Structures are given as C-alpha cells and as structure tokens.
Copies of this chain bind each other. A is one copy, B any other.
Amino acid sequence: MNPSMQKLTLRPPYLVFLGEEHRVTYAKTGKGLVDWRADLCAGQLRLADSAIDLGLEDMSVAEAVDAGVGSLVIGTALIGGALPESWLETLCEAARQGMDIVAGLHTRLSSIKQLQIAAEEGGARLVDVRVPPEGIPVGTGMKRSGMRLLTVGTDCALGKKYTALQLEKDLRDRGYAADFRASGQTGIMLAGCGIPIDCVVADFISGAAELLSPANEADHWDVIEGQGGIFHPGYAAVSHGLLLGSQPDAFVVCHAAGRTQIEGWDHFSLPTIGEVIERTVAIGRLTNPNIRCLGISVNTSSLEERDRWGYQQALADKYQLPCVDPVRDGTGALIARI
C-alpha cells in the first residue's frame, strides 16, 4: 500500500453544511473553509433563513449534485457532539446522491444507521476526520527528502494552524512549492487531507507524522500544523512525537499576547518563547540536526493597534528574531530567513 493512502483524503469541491446555526463562533470550520479554501467550496446549504451566511452560493442537494460537489462538509461544531434529528433527511439525501459526508463529531457517522444505509445506496463515504486511518507504522527516524517547517507553540489554541496556513499562502506567493499539512480535524477539513495526530495510538505518533509529510522534491516545503505544546502538562507527548516525525528544518514559535497560564491548566505558567525554542531544538535535532527557529508568530488580537508594534518589537529585540502577527503582517519576515 502507498503510505500516503493512510492519510485521510477528502473529495472536493465541498458543499458547506450550516444547519440552523446563526452564531459565527459555532461555525468556525465553515468560516475557516471560506477564509482559507474558497476554491474548494462550491456552495453552502442552510436549513433556516436565520442561519449564518458565509457568502457562498446557497444550494440544495440537487443543485450541489449538478455543480459536481464531492463532499458535504459539516461546517459547524456541535455542543454535545450528537447529530440533530432535523439534519438527518438532508444528509441522507446527499449521501444517496453520492456525496461523501464529512464531519468531526464525537459520534461516528457510521453509527447512524439511516445514514449508513443512504451512503451504501449512493456509494458515498462517511468520513469522520477525528478517526485516524488504520495501519500507521512506528516512526523510523529516517531522513526524507524535501524541506519541512513546523509551527510550535507556548500553548494550545493560539494560532499554530493559522500561522501554518498563512505561511503556505505567502510561500506560494513568493514562488515556493509549498503544502500545508494538517494534523488536526479542522485543519484536515481545510487541507482536504491529513492525519488527526492526537487520536493516533501512542506508539505510532511519530510514524503518523512521517506519513503526514512524505518524501518530496528537494526544494519543496511542507508547512506542518503543530499540536499542543512541548511544555503542556496534558499534551506534550503529542507535540514531542509530531516534532520527531516531522523532522523540521525550520520552526516558528506561536504565542498569544497576554496569555500567562496554560489555558485550562491554570496552575501551570506558560513557558517563555526562549524555553520553547531551546527545547524544540534539543528534541528535534535527534531526527534533524539542522533544525532552527525562523522566528515568532504572535496572535495580537487582544492588543490595541497602537500597542501592537511595541509588543512585537520587544520580542524581536529580546530573541533577535523576526516577530509577526500573521493575520495582520503576513509571514514575509519569517520566510525571508528561509
């Protein structure tokens, strides 16, 4: 088997399903798809007029079939994780018409009998992006061709995915061959493929990371979405395995301005950016002796515009590295050091 087959691969273009959701915070996946992968989105399907409008063309299932849609992607996060009864008819119709149904629910799609039957009828797949593929091998540590960049962080949920996506965009704009490699469920929906690293069985974390960024052209860059944090009391093991398997030539440290404690683990102080750099190099050089830090990516959404420059400049001076807010500045200053 081709190892790359062991990645989850989605079938574009997408019909973004929004149900009755009217709150943008609960439609993050759909919003992310439109922000980062507009080219993959053929339309949106809303079950109520009050549902959020992402600016895509509204489509019925029948219209999506005509438009050649490959997958209906559930673009909202569900509280509790169960599938609302009111969605089932639409999802079953899409599956019967041959569209793959893609979700990151706690409930497995295949456990919903009606949907399972509809998918069999239509020859469609039910794709749970939280479920890693079977047959992942143990990591070999063998060097692969191609260049790799990993986004790491002082904590979870502070911009590792956004930084990686912006890096991919800016690298491509500058003429580099570059691919975002998704290691989490939302990232996988955005990328159309990937491996949910945090769901892999412990022995296979670095092996999964090796599959995620396979051998490539010598000057090709994989930009790998980081997970967790190497100083995180709950998730550091995942970060460690992802770092070893990714064999990054370069990494960017992500941080959120103003955050001082590990989110949800308030009795743990955040490590400094310097500590994260030092530990990442110490661990990463086992599988890539050339690993180095390109710079710092900060989420400054909590700062006033007038405070932002001074904050970033202070970090840049302290670590003698470029410091950008990727959403506001782009990542050109980081790429300049490649």
Tell me the A residues contacting B by CB distance below 8 Å.
Answer: 138-142, 197-203, 205-207, 231, 233-238, 240-241, 244, 265, 267-268, 279, 282-283, 286-287
Contact = CB atoms under 8 A, between A and B. Distances in A.
A221 to B, nearest CB: 23
Given A199-B202, A237-B244, 18 more contacts: A138-B234, A197-B202, A198-B201, A198-B202, A199-B201, A200-B202, A201-B201, A201-B202, A202-B202, A203-B234, A206-B233, A231-B286, A236-B240, A236-B244, A236-B283, A237-B237, A237-B238, A237-B240
Contacts of A200: 201-202
A198 B203 contact: yes
A236 B241 contact: yes
A267 B237 contact: no
A203 B198 CA distance: 5
A279 B285 CA distance: 13
A283 B240 CA distance: 11
A237 B203 CA distance: 8
Contacts of A201: 198-202
Contacts of A198: 201-203
A233 B209 CA distance: 12
8 contacts: A141-B265, A198-B203, A199-B202, A202-B241, A203-B234, A206-B234, A207-B234, A233-B244
